Amino acid sequence: MSGKRDYYEVLGVDRKASDAELKKAFRSMARKYHPDKNPDDPEAEARFKEVQEAYAILSNPDERRKYDMFGHDRPGGSPWGAGGFQGVNISFDDIFGGGFDSIFSSLFGGGSRQRSNRGADLLVRHLVSFEDAFTGVDEELEIDVLNRCSGCEGSGSATADGVRVCPTCDGRGRLTRIERIGPFHQQVTQDCRACGGDGRIIQNPCKTCRGEGRAEQSKKVRFSVPAGVDSGTRLRLSGHGEAPRSENGRPGNLYIEIEVQSHEWFERDGPDLLMALPVSYVDLVLGNTIEIPHIDGSPLKVRIKAGSKPGETITILDRGLPMTRGGRGRGAVMVLLKLAMPGKVSRATKKQLEQMRAELGSGNAEVLDDILDEARDRRRS
């Protein structure tokens, strides 16, 4: 899990903030933390870089959509690579004059970066019962996804001759120019605005998809939830994401994030199951075997040894959840013994207990001896 702050929190805006609101927030924060205004202040420099990174992602529609869906834990890792965001050189003139837009747009469009012909990935969350997480289960979901339009077969045009090559970019979908950033010159490549980066102009748009080539459709997907799955596990279904914008691209992937429902009495620690078992004083002194129903269908036998103490743990091997990620076997069930106090005690019982007080004690004459004995036992265990 990433330790980064939420990008919207960094800029101090709502998740539904418009482009204008994002730009206004960036100007304000960049002015506040700019190195020229805060010389020799490492904290302000770090905040300035953090504000730049947040705006770089949220000002780019594609990157913002990915961030809204996956947060910092996006498939494929950080868009900045292993080195992380390095910051950009922005002057006060750029902040007040608006020249920073072209600088940030070049981060995802310049150099040797190629336009992706792959559709967007999707993330859905799916709830499974604790019992299904134990056994594994085959599931089916119905989702709404942008698929290739059936009306125009993905071309975006209502007729076969309604598409022409974009004259602005000559069908490449990209335009390259030389831009000056401070004392440096940089080659910047961006999507062609005339055709939206598609390289084609739709003259007679399809009425179903309005020239997009894609339309939202419902479809069913089947997948298998592995035995022993834990909350937060993401299952990848390749090719079940959004259809690509271009006709010859590849669809994205569908990620299904599993959330496991809580059990009535079990907690889990990986493949191990943890539970507390209230028992009587008689069970602790004399011992007992208690059977409780278990999720694997066979009763779980908890054998309490005579002389057990409250707080002791009984480990039952190979009765936990199945091991995942190539592991074999099952985890353990850890049973914590707790002393169950009776709700109401009759007068006769109280009298009997009073008569047995000396016999039921530890045998030590002083309370301090009991304290010392407990401390020695605890430190040896």
List, for residues 253-276, the tens digit of each pLDDT value. Answer: 999 999 999 999 999 999 999 999
pLDDT at residue 125 tops 90: yes
Q: For the chain, what's the residue count?
A: 381
Higher pLDDT, residue 197 or 247: 197
pLDDT of residue 58 exceeding 70: yes
Q: What is the model's pLDDT at position 82?
A: 63
Mean pLDDT across 330-347: 90
What are the contacts of 2-7 at 24+ separation with CB within 8 A?
Answer: 2/71, 2/72, 2/73, 4/72, 5/50, 6/71, 7/53, 7/54, 7/57, 7/58, 7/67
Confidence of residue 100 (pLDDT cuts 50, 70, 90): low
Locate tokens 């059990």: which residue? Answer: 263
For residue 130, the cross-strand partners are: none
User: What's the gap between Cα 373 and its chain centre?
Assistant: 48
The whole-number average pLDDT for the span 115-128 is: 83
Residue 262: its pLDDT value, please? 94
Predicted confidence band of residue 95 (pLDDT cuts 50, 70, 90) = low
Which of 4-18, 86-100, 191-205 bottoms out in mean pLDDT, i.e. has the lowest? 86-100
Average pLDDT of 363-377? Answer: 74
Angle between helices 19-33 and 42-58 (to 10 degrees): 170
Residues 6+ apart with CB under 8 A from 95: 27, 30, 31, 34
Looking at the chain, the domain(s) classified CATH 1.10.287.110 span 7-108
Residues in contact with 262: Cβ distance below 8 Å, sequence separation at least 6, in sequence order: 130
Q: What is the predicted pLDDT for the residue at 378?
A: 73
Among 28-42, 227-241, 349-363, where is mean pLDDT lowest?
349-363
Q: Which residue is listed with tokens 């770089």?
A: 56
User: CA torsion 28→30→34→38, rounded to 10°?
Assistant: 50
State mean pLDDT over 112-120: 59
Mean pLDDT of 86-95: 64
Neighbours of 343 (CB within 10 A): 5
- For the structural domain made of 7-108, what CATH number should be given? 1.10.287.110
Q: Is the pLDDT of residue 54 over 80?
A: yes
Q: Which of 3-17, 60-74, 102-116, 240-254 holds the top average pLDDT?
A: 3-17
Say what percent of the chain tops pLDDT 70.
84
Is the model's pLDDT at 107 over the cut of 70? Answer: no
pTM over 0.85: no
Average pLDDT over residues 81-91: 68
pLDDT at 112 over 90: no
* Cβ atoms 301, 291 nearer than 8 A: yes
pLDDT band at 94 (very low <50, low <70, confident <90, very high): low
What homologous superfamily does CATH list for 122-162+203-260? Answer: Urease metallochaperone UreE, N-terminal domain (2.60.260.20)
Look at residue 366 and tell me whether its pLDDT is greater than 80. Answer: no
Round to whole Å and give the CA distance between 218 and 253.
Answer: 16
Residues of the chain with CATH 2.60.260.20: 122-162+203-260, 267-341
Q: Which of 29-43, 177-191, 229-243, 251-265 has the lowest mean pLDDT?
A: 177-191
**Alpha carbons 27 and 55: distance in angstroms, whole number:** 10
- The answer to whether residues 323 and 228 touch, using CB atoms and an 8 Å cutoff, is yes
Amino acid type, 90: I
Check residue 303 and report its DSSP letter. Answer: E
Mean pLDDT of the chain: 83
Between strands 254-260 and 122-128, the pairing is parallel
Reply yes or no on whether the pLDDT at 62 is more than 60. Answer: yes
Each residue of 313-338: pLDDT tens digit? 999 999 999 998 767 899 999 999 99
Dump the DSSP string for 101-120: HHHHHGGGTSTTPPPP-BPP
Q: Are 318 and 305 in contact (CB under 8 A)?
A: no
Alpha carbon distances (Å) from 247 to 156, 167, 191, 243: 9, 19, 17, 9
Please compute the mean of the pLDDT values over residues 175-196 and round it to a whole number. 70
Contact 188, 179 (CB under 8 A): yes
CA 209, 213, 217, 219: dihedral to nearest 10 degrees? 170
State the average pLDDT over residues 288-312.
94
The per-residue pLDDT for 369 is 76
State which amino acid sits at residue 49.
K
pLDDT at 256: 93
Indicate if the pLDDT at residue 110 is higher than 50: no
Architecture of the domain delimited by 267-341: Sandwich (2.60)
Bigger pLDDT: 313 or 356? 313
pLDDT at 114: 43
